[in-house]
Amino acid sequence: MTSHSAQPSLIGHPHFHYKNGVLHAEGVALDSLANQLGTPLYVYSRAALAQAWQSYRDAIGDRPVLICYGMKANSNLAVLKEFARLGSGFDIVSGGELKRVLAAGGDPAKVVFSGVGKQAWEMRAALEAGVKCFNVESEAELHRLSEVAQSMGQRASVSLRVNPDVDAQTHPYISTGLKENKFGIAIESALDAYRTAASLPGLDIVGVDCHIGSQLTDISPYFDALEKLLDLIQQLATVGITVQHLDLGGGLGIRYTDEVPPSPKALLDQVFERLQARGLGHLHLVLEPGRSLVGNAGVLLTTVQYLKHAPARNFAIVDAAMNDLLRPALYDAYHGVQPVSPHDGDTTQYDIVGPVCESADWLARQRPLALQAGDVLALESAGAYAMVMASNYNTRARAAEVMVDGDQHYIVRQRETLDDLLRGESTLP
């Protein structure tokens, strides 16, 4: 054990900082939020969202790029509204996400509809809303979309998601560009698929799409994929099929621990350099960042309930659980842990675990912390793939979400109640 006296610094969280010995989100003390609203509690920084967005805007400059926020990372209406205000488009993967975009005031003409399993009702809703483009992922989907568009007397703009068989060098569950993945159309079959699309009524070909994975900390896989896509675009031109845009998906990583993720500028500069070299500088570019816009804009607050010292491990049992933050159990993911109000004392290596009845219910392992029951902890990098993946397992109510703006805070999702969880259920007579 070592002495613990210095206040820790948060990795990758410029808008979460210690002031007078208490962790703050912008100008709001997180201990007061925990006391007032209870825990578990997701807390987002409005300024952090804006700063992440600006990093893309600065990288784009006057180049023709549309940013479509990959909203599966965090679909809270307040988050969506912020990006809509900033001029963002949206990458959606369901009819439910389309409804959220429209409810938040997003522009449907800046929406791209991705996903391997679009149903007919979702296609109809998207056509009625006037989305920019469908990212089609199979020939069967092309046929269904053609039928739906015809039945409505409309034309659907399509981009085919091409699977370039490129290893993104990330977790296998979030790698999406290999031939064994369910996503997209194999690069070898793409030309035939585009010919099919061109032959079907009710479809207009507008682009080529690709997304190779998430949490990329090396941009070289992007360029492996890009070269294959540019070959395809030039092939398409030889058979009379022209496209207006190239969609490279999202996937730029964030810093969870010691990663050094590439900047949007590093990616865009090289993409446009290669487009120009191929004589394709006229193409518009679509990007679908998710995690890199929201991941480090949020923390999850949780309170220590018990300290349990076992022969093999020491456990800090907290009130958050795998139903609040699934990433550690699902991906063996690392999230930083910081005490909201650090106190001096010897540190002990703790596993941070929740009350759910699963051995997989852990949030962090072997972290050196000086803890007491009642301490509030902040789990870092909880802006992405946290609340969106939350569940009611063990009949646990989902946590509230709060957005901080300067020295003000706003509840942007109320905490569920146990009555909420029972609503809609019934027993047999």
| 377-414 pLDDT per residue, tens | 999 999 999 999 999 999 999 999 999 999 999 999 99
| pLDDT (0 to 100) of residue 373 | 97
| pLDDT (0 to 100) of residue 181 | 62
pTM of the predicted protein model? 0.94
Whether the Cβ atoms of residue 91 and residue 68 lie closer than 8 Å to each other: yes
Greater confidence (425 vs 6) lies with 425
Greater confidence (363 vs 7) lies with 363
Whether the Cβ atoms of residue 325 and residue 295 lie closer than 8 Å to each other: no
| 213-235 pLDDT per residue, tens | 888 888 888 888 899 999 999 99
Q: How far apart are CA 161 and CA 138, in angstroms?
A: 8
| pLDDT (0 to 100) of residue 358 | 95
Lowest mean pLDDT among 6-15, 47-56, 114-123, 339-348: 6-15
Q: Domain 47-293 falls in which CATH fold?
A: TIM Barrel (3.20.20)
- Token readout for 166 is 């490129």
Nearest to 212, CA basis, from 240, 251, 247? 251
Lowest mean pLDDT among 143-157, 250-264, 291-305: 250-264
| 168-193 pLDDT per residue, tens | 554 454 344 445 566 789 999 999 99
| pLDDT value at 149 more than 90 | yes
Count other C-beta atoms under 10 Å from residue 78's C-beta.
Answer: 19
Q: Where are the alpha helices (DSSP H) in 239-290?
A: 264-277
% the chain with pLDDT above 70 = 93
| pLDDT (0 to 100) of residue 7 | 45
Our answer to whether residue 68 is catalytic in this structure is no
Question: Does residue 293 sit in helix, strand or coil?
Answer: helix
Show the beta-strand stretches assigned E in 214-297.
245-247, 284-287
Whole-angstrom Cα Rg for the chain: 23
Q: Is 175 exposed, middle or buried (0-12, 13-18, 19+ CB in 10 A)?
A: buried
Arithmetic mean of pLDDT, 298-316 = 96
| 200-209 pLDDT per residue, tens | 999 999 999 9
Q: How far apart are CA 380 and CA 335, in angstroms?
A: 6
Q: 166: pLDDT confidence band, cut at 50, 70 and 90?
A: confident
**Domain ranges, ordered by start, for the chain:** 3-45+295-422, 47-293
Q: 3: pLDDT confidence band, cut at 50, 70 and 90?
A: very low
Determine the CATH number of domain 3-45+295-422.
Answer: 2.40.37.10
| Mean pLDDT, all residues of the chain | 92
| pLDDT (0 to 100) of residue 67 | 98
